[in-house]
């Protein structure tokens, strides 16, 4: 497998490094082309690192993410219709090929203070013409990534306007162990890691890169499952089957569900849709106050979320697809349930009803409470449930998981509060409390996807889940490591 060197334009350089295990001796350098920076273009020069390699690599896609280490990420894509490029070490002068990435006129992040550390990443997808092997090179910032004040890079990196940019899923890596307790010495030895690090005794768990890849897949599939975003799933099945080792999906008047297996993971995902816009049937399903006991368990759940999972129309096809997907792997694939909003609640219900499939993880985003507390539900293993929940610097919360609990329900698993930095994530002690003020905008799937993508591209692993450190905004004591939230900020010390 050849490595690559990437040089984007002329010096001064913006150093990048590889994050993909299979790419060898990968380095990168980013700067704007002095001839083109007025037009906001960046020249990308790619060369193979292995002198004797004769493989032909076809450059299929290139994406550049630009942002700072506090706010948002923009996806900047290759010019539509630009021809693919052949990477051939023997035939190209200096063993390089190049293309131009035109930058958007307006980038979707706020201006940082002068001299603040930026971060960027370049993702390149190439296919070996001899073996049809595909590789993703992920290059992210190096510890020396500070833009010189005289650099042309600042002419585009400090743009301060808003623009709608299509969300992109970053490529996955090979499946590894989902979790590990933090090795603090290893963690601090990495580049790009924030200086503030929670004490080992404060860490609830640590999120590895493979886990965040799976979370990213779950969130991407929830977009496909949403009729309002992607249309009827039946219209997308044939195209999606070209992109997945296994893919199937179904819909009825108020629900959509997909089952998928990536080529590079021994995992099957079952992902359920969120509420389908103003669909009255789906809206009723979301607020249905009636309950049902899951057969052969002591778990009582909201009837609407049961219906979102166990649709009479396609449930038989859904179960058959699960069995077919799980049988692909030698010894059986692992199982993950997930979804956004109502889809996350449906995933929790499904994981209890299908507990014989032994799901390794249930990953949800902004899901409402699903389990009713009228009796204790002991069937599910809480250590396998992971819930991402949005907050922002205005001390506001995604309304769906934190709204007033009028149905006497409870959450399950580990709550993880996302913010604009996500290091560490906070895991509040009281998982079922109502937190205010709530913000409907923070429930948007796009914000969750943006933050998960930002965590992946920062390349600082593992990410600790503890509680927020001193100085972080807060509204409640249990969000802080010190258990002290005073004047809207976490304080030092222990109560």
Q: Are residues 52 and 115 in the same domain?
A: yes
Residue 292 included in any domain: yes
C-alpha separations of 385 from 316, 412, 452 in Å: 25, 7, 17
Note the pLDDT of residue 313: 82
Which element (helix H / strand E) includes 76? strand 73-77
Written as six digits, the tokens of 34 are 């002095």
Residue 236 included in any domain: yes
DSSP state of 141: E
Q: Are residues 146 and 237 in the same domain?
A: no
Written as six digits, the tokens of 449 are 């996807």
Cis peptide bond N-terminal to 12, omega within 30: yes
Residue 228 included in any domain: yes
DSSP state of 220: H
Q: Are residues 152 and 211 in the same domain?
A: no
Note the pLDDT of residue 374: 85
Other CB atoms within a 10 A radius of the CB of residue 491 amount to 18
pLDDT, averaged per 10 consecutive residues of the chain (495 residues), comes to 34 42 42 43 52 56 50 46 46 45 41 40 63 60 38 29 30 27 36 68 88 95 89 91 95 91 95 80 74 96 94 90 96 96 97 96 97 92 95 89 88 93 85 89 92 85 88 91 91 68
DSSP state of 82: P
Q: Are residues 232 and 125 in the same domain?
A: no
Residue 74 included in any domain: yes
| SS3 assignment, position 229 | helix
Note the pLDDT of residue 150: 32
Q: Are residues 145 and 224 in the same domain?
A: no
Query: Each residue of 359-371: b (16+ CB within 10 Å) or e?
Result: bebbbbbbbbbbb
Q: Are residues 358 and 431 in the same domain?
A: yes
- Distance (Å, whole) CA 333 – CA 89: 39
Is the pTM above the cut of 0.85? no
Nearest Cα to 287, choosing from 344, 332, 342, 325? Answer: 342
HSE value, Cβ hemisphere, 13 Å, CA-based, for 129: 12
CATH number for position 107: 2.60.40
DSSP state of 277: T
Full residue range of the structural domain in which residue 130 is found: 4-157
Residue 56 included in any domain: yes
Q: What is the dihedral of CA 74, 75, 81, 85, to 10 degrees?
A: 130
Note the pLDDT of residue 7: 36
Residue 186 included in any domain: no
Q: Are residues 18 and 145 in the same domain?
A: yes
Structurally, the chain folds into a number of domains equal to: 2
Q: Are residues 322 and 413 in the same domain?
A: yes
Residue 453 included in any domain: yes
- Residue entry with tokens 């059986």: 332
């Amino acid at each position: 497998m050849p490595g690559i060197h990437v040089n984007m334009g002329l010096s001064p350089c913006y150093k990048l490094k590889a994050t993909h295990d299979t790419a060898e001796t990968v380095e990168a350098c980013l700067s704007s082309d002095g001839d083109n920076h007025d037009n906001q273009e960046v020249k990308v020069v790619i060369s193979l690192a292995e002198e004797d390699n004769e493989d032909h690599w076809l450059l299929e896609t290139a994406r550049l993410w630009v942002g700072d280490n506090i706010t948002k990420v923009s996806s900047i894509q290759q010019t539509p219709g630009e021809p693919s490029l052949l990477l051939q070490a023997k035939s190209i002068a200096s063993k390089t090929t190049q293309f131009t990435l035109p930058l958007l006129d307006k980038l979707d992040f706020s201006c940082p203070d002068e001299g603040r550390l930026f971060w960027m990443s370049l993702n390149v997808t190439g296919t070996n013409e001899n073996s049809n092997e595909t590789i993703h090179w992920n290059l992210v910032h190096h510890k020396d990534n500070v833009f010189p004040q005289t650099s042309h890079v600042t002419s585009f990196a400090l743009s301060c306007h808003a623009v709608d940019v299509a969300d992109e899923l970053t490529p996955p890596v090979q499946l590894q162990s989902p979790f590990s307790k933090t090795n603090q010495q290893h963690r601090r030895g990495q580049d790009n890691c924030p200086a503030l690090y929670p004490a080992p005794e404060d860490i609830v768990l640590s999120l590895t890169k493979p886990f965040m890849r799976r979370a990213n897949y779950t969130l991407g599939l929830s977009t496909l499952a949403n009729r309002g975003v992607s249309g009827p799933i039946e219209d997308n099945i044939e195209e999606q089957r070209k992109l997945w080792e296994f893919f199937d999906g179904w819909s009825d008047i108020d629900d959509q569900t997909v089952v998928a297996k990536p080529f590079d993971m021994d995992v099957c995902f079952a992902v359920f849709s969120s509420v389908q816009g103003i669909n009255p049937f789906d809206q009723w399903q979301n607020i249905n106050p009636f309950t049902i006991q899951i057969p052969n368990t002591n778990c009582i759940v909201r009837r609407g979320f049961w219906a979102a999972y166990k649709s009479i129309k396609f449930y038989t096809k859904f179960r058959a697809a699960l069995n077919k997907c799980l049988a692909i792997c030698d010894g059986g694939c692992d199982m993950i349930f997930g979804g956004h909003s109502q889809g996350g609640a449906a995933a929790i219900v499904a994981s209890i009803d299908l507990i014989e499939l032994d799901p390794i993880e249930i990953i949800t985003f902004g899901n409402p409470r699903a389990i009713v507390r009228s009796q204790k539900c002991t069937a599910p293993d809480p250590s396998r449930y992971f819930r991402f929940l949005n907050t922002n610097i205005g001390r506001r919360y995604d309304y769906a998981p934190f709204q007033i609990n009028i149905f006497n329900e409870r959450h399950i698993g580990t709550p993880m509060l996302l913010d604009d930095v996500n290091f560490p994530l906070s895991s509040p002690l009281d998982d079922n409390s109502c937190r205010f003020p709530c913000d409907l905008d923070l429930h948007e799937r796009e914000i969750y996807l943006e933050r998960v993508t930002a965590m992946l591209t920062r390349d600082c692993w593992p990410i600790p889940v503890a509680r927020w450190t001193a100085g972080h905004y807060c509204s409640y004591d249990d969000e802080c490591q010190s258990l002290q939230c005073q004047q809207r900020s976490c304080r030092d010390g222990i109560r």
